[in-house]
Structure 1
Amino acid sequence: MKTDYSRMLAGLLLCLTAMSAWSIEYITPKPLAETLKGSVGTVKNGTLELPIISWGADIATIHANGNGISTAPDSLFGQAGLDFKLVREDVFARQLEKYMSGTTPYLRGTMGMINMASDLLAGDPRTKPVVIAKLSDSAGGDVLVVKEGIRTVADLRGKTVALQAYGPHLDYLNRLLNDANLTLADIKVKWVRDLTASANSPAEALRQKDVDAAFVITPDALALTSNGTVGTGAEESVRGARVLVSTKTANKVIVDVYAVRADYLEQNRAKVEAFVSVLLKAQEQVAVLVTNSGSQKAEYQKLMKSSAKLLLDSEQAVADAEGMYADAALALFNGNKAFFAGAGEQRSFEVIAKESLAGIKQFGLASGRELLRAQMWDYGRLQAQVGAVKEKQASRFDQKAATATVNRMQQQGALQSNELYSFEVFFAPNQNAFTAEMYKDAFDRVIELAGTYGGALITVEGHSDPMEYLRKRKANESALVLGQIKQAARNLSLSRSQAVRDAILQYGKSKNIVLDASQFVTVGHGIAMPKTGICGDEPCAPKTEAEWRTNMRVVFRIVQVEAEAEVFKPL
């Protein structure tokens, strides 16, 4: 999570200070089909409005338009014969009104936001949305901030959570709850109208005594947590508030896309395909431009100044525009191809569409009948139009630094305090093979969590049976022998955890899913943390065979490492 949001943070603090005496007006959101009743019009000819929102991925759209509101003739859009007027519209309802009236055939939002409009837009076959391009995954800009006493996502049970109605965080909340085996019925939700810089925002709600957690954007999170640490209660922070998880960790949950009206796509397929190919080409060019910002300084600065003006209303807010870009992981050409085709992609369009709609239905904001549809392009032809394609980074983590970080947490007894989720599987005495046939359900869950929480480390922790050690200790064996037994148990548990990791990687490969091996760190606890507990300084002796078997296990832990910058490889 990039923390150079100084200008936004300073402005936000001023706003929050001015609003401190205001009361919050909580709302009860209704399905958009009940609240928006606009008539459907025909898409006009000529210059089209193209919605953008205040998000880093939209910097590529600005680049495609020639760094201005109106399409420059020599821009990527202009060269493709397209003509747009960029309109920043962060209020999704206003986007929908223009979309239905025909002012624009395009919708810009997250998969969840477009799913929320599914019932409304299905009322007329002309306005059914077709998702045509993936722009980005949120990779740091969206944050769950919690108060004291909430250590893991499971601790949200019985708590009150604030978030914006009709905003980008419904998918986020739904996914976190599902992975913690919670449902909406397990928490209380307080809905607010605005996302940020308002008395009716999640950040302001967190200042109230009866709210325990809030989904916010990065500048709000920094203000609430004393610049990303733990809130002191001073300078508008909330005492004890801290970041539980951001989309730097849960980096495959909030997906930003463009959708188009079904009637416009049918009548203007070539134009829509040109629009998509230009977007992807612009993403590829911007990714290279950012990487080469030193050698292409003038072009880079021009893009960022234009983006700061269009997204943040000030050419001076370049650092903030850079921070927004850092929080958006551009999908690029290969990401679009994988997302829509689904080959080897755990978080494909089909998966996200169904998962998101199920969550929206649970919130009572859609019927769940209208599943989003996508346009499948000829990606071979598109690539010829896009040109050079940036290769995806092979490994996200520095394996050596990741292992050192986990080892330090283990020595400090801090693995559990840094976890988001954990679960365990058990094995038989003297077992050395761990096949997918034996552990399919567990392996499937690990693969799903690895894909969803690509910014977290997954520890594979082996635990051994302490019975041999306890017998030898009872027989008064020497400290040397007892030490050798402990070391042997550590070695055995480590080799088992490595065998399990290797089996998971192989299982993923068999399903055409390429897992990032650097995300997995193996740990051998030996007999240091038996399921039966510690009695004094030694393992407690199991009282039954069932207790004895519980000590032979592997624990999978999703570990938060956002603050450990050295763990991540540079882009």
Structure 2
Amino acid sequence: MPLRLMLSLLATLIAAPALAASQPPLEERVDASVRACRASDTLRVPLRSSGVDLVPLYGNGYGLETASGSPFDEQDLDIELWRENDLAAQLEAYLRCESPVLRVTQAQLQMAAGIAGADPRSEPVTIYQHGWSSGADALVVREGVETLADLSGATIALSAHGPQTDLLASVIDAAKKQWDEGDGGWQSPELVYTEKQIGFGNDTPGGLFYEDDAIDAALVFRPDADVLTSGGEVGTGAEGSVQGAEILFSTRAASRVTSEVYAVRADYLEANREQVKRFVSALFRAEEQVREDVKKLIVDWEATARHLLGDPSATEAARTLWSTVETSGMQGNVDWADPEHPRSFARINASLANALAPLGVLAGEREIRMAGYDYAALAEGVFDKRRVELPSFDRDEAARMVSEQRESGELERRTIAEFEIQFRPNQASFSASEYQQEFETIVEAASSYGGAIFTVEGHADPLAYLKKKKQGADLSTLRSIRQAARNLSRSRAVSVRDAVIEFAESRGVSMDRSQFVTDGLGLSDPKTGICGGDPCPPKTEEQWLSNMRVVFRAVQVEAESATFTPPNSW
């Protein structure tokens, strides 16, 4: 949305919005009964204002009706597209079988399944994963909220049944894990819901955050986040921003938590099996071709803006939509359908329920069927090299950024998640059989936080150094011991990183090696602390062993545009 339009919306605020302390039941917003679906030559499919929806729009020849020679036409399909961002409106059309497809995130699908699954005819069956939000959604916080752990007991605004619900689950999960490392009991945030999603009107998350100091944080689309935070930095209080506001967390770092999917009614799928298969097959071809057209600079951005945003002049905003998503393609759908993959349909649903059920957002995890497609067969002839197989990060730039953040003390604040692996004295190798649980945790985190840098910090035991110093060793000897400890700790960090990547690949999970920055910290940050400039001597065997560790940190790189390459730029 253009800045001038956002500012004009701000100027129209005439009253403080009313707070909705609980999410209104979706049933109250849906006014439709189930009507049967039958065989149909035309498939009516909803669009959302998301970058991944460039794919079906391209598949239709940039029109709402299928154009001759388009990827959908080549598959003998007649597709009618319509834009609808509101879940309740989509669900009403779905129940009436006016549009037998839902275009939703997985959290939205979990919410919709309570209504749609009540009748076996309208039971949702998932058929395709479009991709991921990769920077399109953000958590904006007020001054004073320094880390995710500070969200304990906070007040968070978000749109009811909106697409930021998936990011909320990741925020809560990461915040609780950070809190577990501190003292006291975690308090669930108070969630305040708005009816609308975008902009700064009376009933939007951005509007609430702007107007009411009692709102500690808001889950918003990235353009709204940029206004509130003075372009994604720290809000100055000018031009519609909020003094001190900043983006604490977003789907740029948590780039594989908001899964964008299609689900189709069970009775429609039964009556139109071949048509739906051809639709999925055509989507794979359209996804491959549109990525090529983006590289060749021949995308029709005017038509994209018209159909996804309702404004043909908003071409720059349409380009931004594409830059803030990651499409899945064939390999992504194969992984999504594999229940053992860290970011599979089943595992994402389970993680959403674990985070959102305690907040009352979901009643619990709902069982939702998949169509059971052989995605590799449906994508036959499509060349698909997923982004994860290519380096996403500039290693030198990433290492420089991590070093600067460590020196400035910002690294702890930028850390989303932290994992520790202990080792024994003189240990040089790290087997998957011994560290399977730790490796699985790290692989799952790296799969979720695809836009975050993972630092791998090796630490060393300071006991030998302290003994030598007590014995009166000269400065040169002590420096040599410190350097040897740094070298050894870095070697261990590299060994653990390689073992984790090898473990992931043995499970069929591709890892981006450039995402990992290894560092040997030697004796500089012992678990026992620093006493008078030197490591504190361990008093027990447990303390002695605690210093022998490798620490993984997932670190956000929100403002470091030179570090990370957007996933759809290949």
Q: Is TM (by shorter chain) over 0.5?
A: yes
From 284, 300, 305, give the equivalent of 2:302. Answer: 305
CA distance in 2, matches of 1:272, 1:113: 22
The answer to whether the aligner puts 1:11 opposite 2:15 as a matched pair is no
Corresponding residue to 1:220 among 201, 218, 224: 224
CA positional deviation for 1:380: 4.5
For residues 149-184 of structure 1, what are the alpha-carbon distances to aligned partners after superposition, in whole Å with 9 as ceiling and x for unaligned?
Answer: 333322211222111110112222122322343599
Which residue is 1:242 aligned to? 246
- 1:373 alignment counterpart: 369
| Comparing 225-234 and 72-81, the one that deviates more | 72-81
Q: Is the 8 A contact 1:50 1:87 kept in 2?
A: yes
- Determine if contact 1:145/1:213 at 8 Å carries over to the other structure: yes
Q: Could you tell me which residue of structure 2 aligns to residue 3 of structure 1?
A: none
Report the Cα distance in structure 1 between the residues aligned to 2:448 and 2:218, rounded to whole angstroms: 20
Q: Matched residues in 2 for 1:73 and 1:27: separation? A: 50
Distance (whole Å) between structure 1 residues aligned to residue 337 and residue 422 of structure 2:
37
Q: Which moved more, 1:442-451 or 1:74-83?
A: 74-83
Q: Does 1:265 align with 2:269?
A: yes
Quick one: distance in 2 between partners of 1:524 and 1:80? 55
Q: Does 1:404 pair with 2:400?
A: yes
Identify the range of structure 1 (177-186 vs 478-487) with the bigger mean alpha-carbon deviation.
177-186
Q: Does 1:458 align with 2:461?
A: no
Instruction: After TM superposition, give the deviation of residue 114 of structure 1 in Å.
Output: 1.1
Shift in CA distance, 503/22, structure 1 to aligned 2, threshold 3 Å? same
CA distance 1:476–1:279, shift in 2 (3 Å): same
Are residue 421 (structure 1) and residue 417 (structure 2) matched? yes
Q: 1:95-494, aligned counterparts within 5 Å?
A: 95-181=90-176, 185-197=187-199, 198-207=201-210, 208-293=212-297, 297=298, 300=299, 303-341=300-338, 345-368=341-364, 370-384=366-380, 387-392=382-387, 393-494=389-490
Give, in whole Å, the separation in 1 of the partners of 2:66 and 2:354. 38
Measured at CA, do residues 175 and 369 of structure 1 come closer, stay the same or move farther in structure 2, by a change above 3 Å?
Answer: closer
Deviation at 1:99, TM superposition (A): 0.6
Q: Could you tell me the TM-score, scaled by structure 1's length?
A: 0.92
The separation in 2 between residues aligned to 1:413 and 1:280, in whole angstroms, is 45
CA distance in 2, matches of 1:323, 1:380: 30
What is the CA–CA distance in structure 2 between the aligned matches of 1:227 and 1:58, rounded to whole Å?
Answer: 25
Deviation at residue 270 of structure 1 after TM alignment: 0.7
Give the drift of 1:388. Answer: 4.2
In structure 1, give the amino acid aligned to 2:296: N
Q: Which of 188-197 and 71-80 deviates more?
A: 71-80
**Partner deviation per Cα, 1:462-483 (whole Å, 9 max, x = no partner):** 1112222223333333221221
Which structure 2 residue ranges, 5 or more long, are not aligned?
180-185
Contact 2:172 2:355 (C-alpha < 8 Å) held by counterparts:
no
**2:82 is aligned with 1:87:** yes
What SS is found at the alignment partner of 2:36?
Answer: coil
Kindly state the Cα deviation for residue 83 of structure 1 after the two structures are TM-superposed: 2.4
**Larger deviation, residues 135-144 vs 14-23:** 14-23
Match of 1:4 in 2: none
- In structure 2, the CA distance between the partners of 1:63 and 1:190, relative to structure 1 (3 Å rule), is same
Distance in 2, Cα, partners of 1:285 & 1:240: 43
Q: Deviations over 1:222-261 (max 9, x none)?
A: 0111111101122221111111121111011001111111
The AA in structure 2 aligned to 1:262 is: A
Q: How many residue pairs get matched?
A: 556
Q: Residue 183 of structure 2 corresponds to which residue in structure 1?
A: none
* Deviations 1:81-115, CA, capped at 9 Å, x for gaps: 32233211111101111110121111111111111
Quick check: 2:486–2:522 contact (8 Å CA) kept in 1?
yes
- How far off is 1:123 after superposition? 1.4
Alpha-carbon shift at residue 340 of structure 1 (Å): 1.9
Aligned-residue offset at 1:414: 3.2
Q: Percent identity, aligned pairs only? A: 39
TM-score between the two structures when normalised by the length of structure 2: 0.92
**Distance (Å, rounded) in 1 between the aligned partners of 2:480 and 2:213:** 54
Tell me, yes or no, if structure 1 residue 69 matches structure 2 residue 64: yes
Deviation of the 1:33 alpha carbon: 4.1
Distance 2:335 2:306 in 1: 33
